[in-house]
Amino acid sequence: MTDATNPLGEHLYALVDRLREADGLLVLLDFDGSLAPIVEDPDAAALPDETREAVVDLRDAPNVQVGIVSGRQLADLRERVDVDGVAYAGNHGLELWADGEEQVNPTARELREDVDAVVETVESELADVDGAFVEDKGVTATVHYRRASEDAVPDVKDAVREAAVDVDDVRVTAGKSILELRPDVDWDKGRATDWLSDRFVPDDEEWLSLYLGDDRTDEDAFDVLTDADSPGMGIKVGHEPPTVAEYRVDGPVAVHATLRWLVDYGLSFLDAEPGEHPRSSRPTE
């Protein structure tokens, strides 16, 4: 883990060099805090129109595949992004949507009742805590405490962990002002990244994989890109350390600028000879 990453705009040559070596591009994007700004009420999160337009333009480009990878429930994620023809990985990849087909991790489906039992206990414990609530996401659940008082946060965390401690098949993971209740399945955003790569990257071609994400759960995807036989590029959104990503952009506005740069300039470098396509532009940090 490192405490800082390189600003992508100052190291754009590295991305250009990687694009020149690639036959195609796999772009994987986290939703909350990356495509869409973080908001107090998770139900109010919205994808800006200009960012949606950039995603659509990438989708329509040749030799490009786009995937949205999120902790949100698959149905909720697809509704908020509202772009057909891209792949979706909801609930950290426990729910997958590609080419019009949905897949749900069978073990996660079987453990739904165990997660529900913990949720029932947590909801009872937090009933009197203002600003804390449980979001039911089907095969997982998220406990939100962003709007709770600072004094209440330790009690929220203790209540969640105590509710799950004796349930062998449910684990607790942490994110930005949330705790997640997940079935104890060996699956995460990194495994989802592998699945999407296996699904969409042709066996006889070399594609560059980009992953942009802001949360702790995105580190699993960054790890996969770092350890892969043909390493991709992890791009941390925001400045919260630590991270294993090599590059960063400031926030959702910079994510849009990066996607727009790819559409308007970057894709022209795909599989290009050195010296071709001299145009360049720096995405806003």
Q: What is the mean pLDDT of the chain?
A: 92
Query: What predicted TM-score, i.e. pTM, was given to this entire model?
Result: 0.90
**Per residue in 128-149, pLDDT tens?**
999 999 999 999 999 999 999 9
Residues 99 and 11 in one domain: yes
Return the pLDDT at 212: 98
**CATH number of 47's domain:** 3.40.50.1000
**Per residue in 38-86, pLDDT tens?**
998 889 999 999 999 999 999 999 999 999 999 999 999 999 999 999 9
**CATH number of 152's domain:** 3.30.70.1020
Q: How far apart are CA 267 and CA 122, in angstroms?
A: 48
Q: Which DSSP helix (H) or strand (E) runs through 234?
A: strand 233-237
Tokens of 187: 């699956």
Label residue 271 by pLDDT band (50, 70, 90).
Answer: confident
Contact partners, residue 32, CB within 8 Å, separation at least 6: 38, 42, 45, 70, 71, 72, 214, 215
Residues 84 and 124 in one domain: no
Region 254-267 average pLDDT: 97
Q: How far apart are CA 44 and CA 128, in angstroms?
A: 23
Return the pLDDT at 149: 94
Return the pLDDT at 279: 47
Q: Is residue 1 part of a domain?
A: no
Tally of domains in the chain: 2
Residues 90 and 116 in one domain: no
Residues 45 and 12 in one domain: yes
Q: How far apart are CA 93 and CA 152, in angstroms?
A: 31
Residues 96 and 199 in one domain: yes
Q: How far apart are CA 9 and CA 80, in angstroms?
A: 28
Region 13-17 average pLDDT: 95
Q: How far apart are CA 124 and CA 201, in angstroms?
A: 46
Residues 36 and 75 in one domain: yes
Which runs of consecutive H residues, i.e. helices, occur in the chain? Answer: 12-20, 49-60, 74-81, 106-110, 112-125, 153-164, 189-200, 219-227, 252-264
Residues 212 and 246 in one domain: yes
Q: How far apart are CA 75 and CA 258, in angstroms?
A: 26
* 3-state SS, residue 168: coil
Tokens of 213: 């994400």
**Per residue in 221-253, pLDDT tens?**
999 998 877 779 999 999 887 899 999 999 999
Ramachandran region of residue 238, left (φ > 0), alpha (ψ -120 to 50) or beta?
left
Q: Which DSSP helix (H) or strand (E) runs through 209?
A: strand 207-213
Structural domain boundaries, residue 74: 6-103+187-269
Residues 206 and 265 in one domain: yes
Does the pLDDT at position 33 exceed 60?
A: yes
Q: Which residue among the candidates 30, 32, 214, 218 is catalytic per the annotation?
A: 30
Asked which of 183, 203, 232 is the last residue of a domain, the reply is 183
Q: How far apart are CA 215 and CA 64, in angstroms?
A: 25
Return the pLDDT at 1: 47
Tokens of 233: 């590029």
CA-closest candidate to residue 221, choices 256, 197, 185? 197
Active site residue 30: yes
Are 210 and 236 in contact by the 8 Å Cβ rule? The answer is: no
